[in-house]
Structure 1
Amino acid sequence: MADQAVVFAYHDVGVRCLRVLLDAGVRVPLVVTHRDDPAEKIWFGSVAQLARSRGVEVLEDPTLEQLAETVRRIAPEFIFSFYYRRMLPAELLALARRGAFNMHGSLLPKYRGRAPVNWAILKGERETGATLHEMTAKPDAGRIVDQQAVPIGPDDTALEVFGRVTDAAEVVLKRSLKKLLAGTADFKAQDLSRGSYFGGRKPEGGRIDWSKSAREIHDLVRAVAPPYPGAFSGNLKIFRTRLEPGRTPRRADPGPYRDGNAWFARCGDGKVLRLLEVEGEP
């Protein structure tokens, strides 16, 4: 009999990793996912659509009581979580007879928590990645099964980096699955002191503080660029910027300005950003 897993999944990572399990012959009697939020721009694949196309039962945003009853009835060997947006309580994780595992979009223990790709770019990192780890009551703190690094270029946006992280997640799961199912996987404990936990991000987090350095503002713009809500200053939305270290600013105080038909900004360190894609006025 094939190995059996209940899968909690959403977003592109959820789609790709669910497909890896199904293509490997893992029996998935249940997929738990989210209803798309009408207030959110949906630019990613549908886990529910993939699951239904493969004949898998789907639950969307069930109550904890409904979920516990259903998973208890299935008595799965494994639980997998692939970009599911809710914490799974310890009593639910305990229903997986051979373990519960999560795919996280960073190189743990760095950037535990929410929006790890966006935070990594915002903090000026030059690499991030995907990590498969055991789930515990504490978020993103369990032992590591495997991880794969990906680069972050100096002008890469969150969307571009997230695409690489999604690819890395698929690579990690394919590479680790055979040993995980066989019970021969090697686990590595995390040293949580070497990383930090980050919370979710809101549109207000895209507000630009022009007193910050040009590099910090450039990293913010990249971190929240579309399809995320974007950076802004007053009524000016800023979607893409470029550092211009050789340019002399045309205003004395920090802030955006026009020079001919082009937009620029003087930043708090006296350096200039070119605002390549903007909408509205300051």
Structure 2
Amino acid sequence: MNAVVFAYHDVGVRCLKVLLARGVQVSLVVTHEDSATENIWFGSVAGVCREHGIACITPADPKSPQLLAQVQAAQPDFIFSFYYRHMLPVEVLAAAKRGAYNMHGSLLPKYRGRVPINWAVLHGETETGATLHEMTVKPDAGAIVAQTSVPILPDDTAHEVFGKVVVAAELTLWNVLPAMLSGRTPSMPNDLSKGSYYGGRKPEDGRIDWRRTAREVHNLVRAVAPPYPGAFEEIADDKITVTRTRLVPPSAHPALQRAHGMQDKFFEGGKLYARCGDGNFLQILGIQINDQDASLNNYLKYMAS
């Protein structure tokens, strides 16, 4: 079987390797140029192509006639999209004789759209996963082929969950690919009425509002912790990024309240705490000052200001 693959990021790397391990002939890979303004903390699809001698291109516009001609010339049985960042036009999808499929980082129909892992952590979900589905005109709307779930633990950051989803994507593709190659591709309903669509997030969306509940602030910190832009506040012209927090058990609240009254942030027993809008507390476990790792004791000067 012959495939054209649109891929980027770690999911792109692992799923491309699954296709090769299953004996799929990948005649063309379409990926992105790494941006000089982006923190590139993930694997390189282009690097995998160089290792395996696979033709790899990085067109700026997925709607270009040149790209369509290249895909059609490959005469693919399948088209796969693994964390490629653009929607593919219908004309490109139609070039696949046996279907075009995308790997999405959620349990569809939940969290359609952009950065689904970050949104799932932000909303306090306890599980997410990876879903392989048919590509259609609407994003993440085609029939579900297969999916694999992973847990989201209470203190997991989005980066930690992303690592799990990469494995879930690899397992999903590995397990279903033999059926797809033999002409028995599963098709399950993707009921959009039971899910939701979310857009992209900007760095400014990470600004902390300490008036929110402790759980909401904790989920924000987890959802955007490095290598993502981070949850932050600005004090005395400095950017303070909170990189890791933990919810304080209710049993500890009375003692903290007696010792520190209505203070917003304070040290107790060598630990840094913050009081949130619901009166509950977070322990602050890590900070950066102006994007540089810093000691929690460095927070003292801001607390005194």
User: Under a length normalisation based on structure 2, what TM-score does the superposition of the two structures give?
Assistant: 0.88
Q: Secondary structure at the match of 2:283?
A: strand
More displaced, 20-29 or 123-132?
Answer: 20-29
Note the C-alpha offset of 1:69.
1.3
- Of 270, 274, 278, 2:287 maps to 278
> CA–CA distance in 2 between the matches of 1:138 and 1:122?
24
Alignment identity in percent? 59
What corresponds to 1:242 in structure 2?
246
Consecutive unaligned residues in structure 2, runs of 5 or more? 290-298
Aligned partners of 1:105 and 1:165 also within 8 Å: yes
4+ residue segments displaced more than 3 Å: 255-262
- Please point out which of 34, 38, 41 is paired with 2:39: 41
Segment drifting more, 263-272 vs 164-173: 263-272
Tell me the secondary structure at the aligned position of residue 215 of structure 2. Answer: helix
**Runs of 5+ unmatched residues, structure 1:** none
Match of residue 61 from structure 1: 59
Letter in 2 for 1:79: I
* Cα RMSD after superposing both structures: 1.5
Q: CA deviation at 1:74?
A: 1.4
Matched residue SS, 1:240: strand
**One-letter amino acid matched to 2:277:** G
Q: Deviations over 1:113-143 (max 9, x none)?
A: 1111111000000000000000000000000
Which has the higher Rg, Structure 1 or Structure 2? 2
Equivalent AA in structure 1 for residue 243 of structure 2? F
Q: How does 1:69-88 map to 2 (within 5 A)?
A: 69-88=69-88
The residue type paired with residue 240 of structure 1 is R
Report matched runs for 1:1-282 at 5 Å. 3-63=1-61, 64-234=64-234, 235-244=239-248, 245=250, 246-247=252-253, 248-249=256-257, 250=260, 252=262, 255-259=264-268, 262-280=271-289
SS of 2:229's equivalent in the other structure is coil
Alpha-carbon distance in 2 for matches of 1:185, 1:74? 22
Inter-partner Cα distance in structure 2 for 1:265 and 1:113: 33
Q: Distance in 1 between matches of 2:159 and 2:175?
A: 24
For the residue of structure 1 that corresponds to 2:242, the secondary structure is: strand
